[in-house]
Structure 1
Amino acid sequence: MDELLEISDQLIRSTDTTFKRYLFDQIDWNERLIGIKGARGTGKTTLVLQYLKENQSLGKKVAYFSLDELYFLSNNLVDAAKDFYQSGGNILVVDEVHKYGNWSREIKNLYDRYPNLQLIFTGSSIIDITRVEGDLSRRAVINELHGLSYREYLAFQHGMQFPTVVLDQLTSDRVSLQELFPEDFKPLQYLKDYIRNGYFPFSGTNEEMYYKKLRQLVRTIVEYDMAEIKGFDIRNGKKILQLLYIIAQQVPFKPNITALSEKTQIHRNSLSNYLLYLSEARLIDLQYPAGISISMLQKPEKILLNNTNFLFAISEKTPEKGTVRETFFNSLVKVNHRINLSTSVDFLVDDKYQFEIGGKNKSRKQIKTENTWIVKDDLEFPAGNSIPLWIFGFLY
């Protein structure tokens, strides 16, 4: 136990609080039980350590336990948390919960036993809080951390601080977005860098090393994290990686389940589940028309990779511009909005706004519906009914 607390103190002391992710200010830290889930590499651990560091400076006794520590192979979480609480502990963060068999039941027990202890847990985006044992769904407030937005990337890598925007601002003729930014701001200056290697908060790596890390991250998610899914056979990990690779070469991918099944040697029934797992792991994004939900297990109309960095890291060839545009838009807008395929344009957002994604030659003549905007990747600021693609990277 002493060694756990020593590790915790070392990690908290060495945590940099200069840059905080968008979710830090969105979480209601007054809640007694907080869950934070998200894909690997998005910065969940750093976020909770920053919170602990702030509270430690206020005089509170805090601790960080990672459940993949060797300590928890022969000791349980309940006993460790009890010792911490009885020694005056106020806030306990439990990281990597999906790697610990009875995590939900034990966290529920701790929540019920120690009303003066704040519990924060983090885990893979694969976690479905409504299905785990212990009935945490009524107790915990769950938050999800996504990759860096373009706005966050500019702050993280270049020290440029900007406000967020909301979707209504982008579609309102009465709001001048240009007034939100300094005159010398060049919005396209770092856009290509972000699209290629800015979604994950890795620092100090060149592009080749960054892509190597991303490919290793993907393998770890498929071969390690997915093993925690009930009913998942880890022996199929290689087939799932093959499935992801096939999708990456063809996105935007309109799936033919029969052809995919034959190519990967994955049974049709299992294939639908595996696509869902890849989506929950935030490796791909399944696209459906309005009115169709993933829970209905309908075949998706289209599949995109989760973010543009995956496009460049996994695909054998340079991604097409149209694919990059759609993936950028989808990955950033879906964080706070519902996206569906539209019958007339590329995307329907919140059942209200329609967006057609394109380059400088995309014109209004191709648009036949009202309440529709053209999104262009080579535009600096709004012009008429056209919105610049980069600004959607400022939604969070």
Structure 2
Amino acid sequence: MEKLKIKSIFLREEVETIHIRHLYYQIDWSDRLVGILGARGTGKTTLLLQRLKLNFPDDDAALYISLDDIYFASNSLIALVENFRLRGGKILFMDEVHKYNGWAREIKNIYDTYKDIYIVFTGSSVIDIYQQEADLSRRTVFYELTGLSFREYLRFADVYAAETIGLSDILDHHTQIALKLSKAFKPILHFEAYLDHGYYPFFKENLRTYFLRIEQVIRLIVETELRFVDGFDINNSNKVMQLLAILAENVPFKPNISKLSDKIGISRQTVTQYLHYLEKARLINLLNAAGASISTLQKPEKVYLENPNLHRAIASGEANQGSRRESFLLNQLRNAKHEVSLPATGDFLVDRRITIEVGGKAKGRKQIEGVENAFIAADDLEVGVENKIPLWLFGFLY
């Protein structure tokens, strides 16, 4: 256990606390069991270490551990907690819980047995808590850590610090808001940089290796994280990578499951399942018609890459600007917890009442003519009027 303490102290001292994610302030840290789920690369470990450093800088009552540490090859989590508690320990920050066999059952037992122990844990977004053998879902308060919004990117890049802006405010007052913000920074310039390399917080570390890091993240998700999905065959990892590469060349598009099945050599049902697995892993977004039921056996209407940075990282050719625009808007809306589906007219139906068409600054209103509550999200536009809104402004939703 002493080695774990030394690692915890070292990591605590090394982490920077200048840039802190918006989610940090939304978490109620007073709950006894907090779960933070998210895709690899979004900064879950940093969030835990920042909490440790800011609130327990010299306190033996708090400890950070990663459950893929070699320590747990010969030691149980429960035994560690008992030892930690006897020495005055109160708060455990557990990283990568899905890497530990039986993690849900042991955390449940710790929670039920030791009322004076507080746990904050992180896990992969592919984990289905409700499938775990222990009923952890009703004991845990869950949060999801997504990639950076455009607003957060501006703050992390030391360009501009702003508060979030609600969707209704953007729709109703976008001209005044855009005028104010565009006086503080050049939105088009920085928005283009964000679409290229601003979604993952590690852009701060080294831009030259940013896309190499994304490729590594993708491979780790497919080869390591997806094995925690019930029903996923790890032997098909290469086929999933092949599927992802095909999607990257064509998104957004309406998938032909039969053609995809023939191309990568797996059954149509398996292709459909793997599309849903890739969505759980936050590598793609699937869009269905409003009111349609969603299951792993249902073919999606359209497929998008989960965020615009993936276009350059995965696609072999030049990233399509139209694809990046739509990928961005769908990503920001869903990360801000808005319901998005496929409308009869337009690109996105938001919260079942707002239609949004995406395009360049010259985009006309023809496609949404006669549609109620319809707006255009226009790229390369600094300030909009009436129902034509700058696309970049939707990056302030979270």
TM range (shorter): over 0.9
Q: CA deviation at 1:159?
A: 4.5
Q: Which residue of 1 aligns with 2:381?
A: 379
Q: Which residue of 2 aligns with 1:367?
A: 368
What per-residue deviation string (whole Å, max 9, x for no partner) do you get for residues 37-80 of structure 1? 10000000000111111221485721011011000011111111
Q: CA deviation at 1:220?
A: 0.8
Which residue identity is paired with 1:297?
Answer: L
Question: Are the counterparts in 2 of residues 35 and 121 from structure 1 also a CA contact under 8 Å?
Answer: yes
Q: CA deviation at 1:181?
A: 3.0
Question: Are the counterparts in 2 of residues 98 and 228 from structure 1 also a CA contact under 8 Å?
Answer: yes
| Identical aligned residues as a percent | 47
Residues 66 and 174 of structure 1, relative CA distance in 2, 3 Å threshold: closer
Aligned mates of 2:256, 2:363 — CA distance in 1: 29
Residues 60 and 54 of structure 1, relative CA distance in 2, 3 Å threshold: farther
| Residues 1:354 and 2:358 aligned together | no
Aligned mates of 1:366, 1:133 — CA distance in 2: 49
1:1-396 equivalence runs, <5 A: 1-57=1-57, 59=59, 61-173=61-173, 176-178=176-178, 181=181, 183-202=183-202, 203-207=204-208, 209-295=209-295, 297-335=297-335, 336-368=337-369, 369-396=371-398
Aligned mates of 2:315, 2:182 — CA distance in 1: 37
Displaced runs of 4 or more, over 4 A = none
Question: Are the counterparts in 2 of residues 382 and 388 from structure 1 also a CA contact under 8 Å?
Answer: yes
**Which runs of 5 or more residues in structure 1 are unaligned?**
none
| Aligned partner of residue 131 in structure 2, secondary structure | coil
TM-score, normalised via structure 1 length:
0.96
Residues 168 and 246 of structure 1, relative CA distance in 2, 3 Å threshold: same
Q: CA deviation at 1:237?
A: 0.4
| Aligned partner of residue 262 in structure 1, secondary structure | helix
Question: Are the counterparts in 1 of residues 160 and 184 from structure 2 also a CA contact under 8 Å?
Answer: no
**Which runs of 5 or more residues in structure 2 are unaligned?**
none
Q: CA deviation at 1:273?
A: 1.2
Question: Are the counterparts in 2 of residues 55 and 62 from structure 1 also a CA contact under 8 Å?
Answer: no
Aligned mates of 1:123, 1:35 — CA distance in 2: 8
Which residue identity is paired with 2:372?
Answer: E
Aligned mates of 1:60, 1:80 — CA distance in 2: 14
Q: CA deviation at 1:247?
A: 0.6
Q: CA deviation at 1:178?
A: 3.7
Q: 172-181 or 2-11, which moves further after superposition?
A: 172-181
Aligned mates of 1:24, 1:173 — CA distance in 2: 28
Q: 168-177 or 76-85, which moves further after superposition?
A: 168-177
Q: CA deviation at 1:173?
A: 4.6
Q: CA deviation at 1:382?
A: 2.8
Which residue identity is paired with 2:282?
Answer: R
Aligned mates of 1:38, 1:48 — CA distance in 2: 13
Aligned mates of 2:2, 2:361 — CA distance in 1: 61
Aligned mates of 2:65, 2:367 — CA distance in 1: 55
| Aligned partner of residue 56 in structure 2, secondary structure | helix
Question: Are the counterparts in 2 of residues 292 and 298 from structure 1 also a CA contact under 8 Å?
Answer: no
Q: CA deviation at 1:295?
A: 2.7
Q: CA deviation at 1:185?
A: 2.4
Report the RMSD for the aligned CA atoms in angstroms: 1.6
Q: CA deviation at 1:6?
A: 1.0
